[in-house]
Amino acid sequence: MRQYRYWHRATYAFVLNKHGELCIQKRTLSKEVFPGYFDLASGGVVGAGEAVHIAAQRELEEEIGVRGAPLRHCFDFCYTDATNHVFGSAYLVRHDGPLTLQAEEVADAFWVTPEKALELHPSTPDSRMALERLIRDGFLSMGAGK
């Protein structure tokens, strides 16, 4: 899909704890896209025939071990660069419990304020764009699940 620059669906689940901090992932160096970058959201490509919210839940569980947390859909957006053409769906999730990292995709995870998350470099540009919109449109002040 990237080789031929096909448009595809992807999910972006921004995980907030009770302190209003975001869960940030450090991508492994083996990732196909943006290896070693900071990812400001959990998520990924939606499978053929898969519902977007189901894909978001699947990615949360696979990447950081978050299971059964309610998703709050915030908005849909488009992101494009030289190799990626994404129809994205952004979600908020409240989670204060432990994280279980997927070793193949996530090298590390930690919690920071949304403002500090935007200072991390290099960060995945698509998750950064979505986080900037979450902040600008006031979604983070509403919190997850409200």
- Give domain status of residue 1, yes or no: no
- Give domain status of residue 110, yes or no: yes
Q: What are the residue ranges in the chain where pLDDT is below 70?
A: 1-5, 142-146
Residue 105: what pLDDT? 96
| Both structure tokens of 133 | 């919109």
Residue 93: what pLDDT? 97
Residue 59: what pLDDT? 97
144 in Cβ contact with 72 (< 8 Å): yes
Residue 4: what pLDDT? 57
DSSP string, 84-134: -EEEEEEEEEE--S-----TTTEEEEEEE-HHHHTT-SSB-HHHHHHHHHH
- Give domain status of residue 2, yes or no: no
3 in Cβ contact with 91 (< 8 Å): no
Q: How many domains does the chain have?
A: 1
- Give domain status of residue 114, yes or no: yes
- Give domain status of residue 100, yes or no: yes
Domain extent, residue 137, equals 7-142
- Give domain status of residue 67, yes or no: yes
Residue 6: what pLDDT? 74
What CATH code is carried by the domain that includes residue 37?
Answer: 3.90.79.10
Residue 146: what pLDDT? 46
Question: Helix or strand or coil: residue 36?
Answer: coil
- Give domain status of residue 84, yes or no: yes
Q: What are phi and psi of 26, to 5 degrees?
A: -100, 115
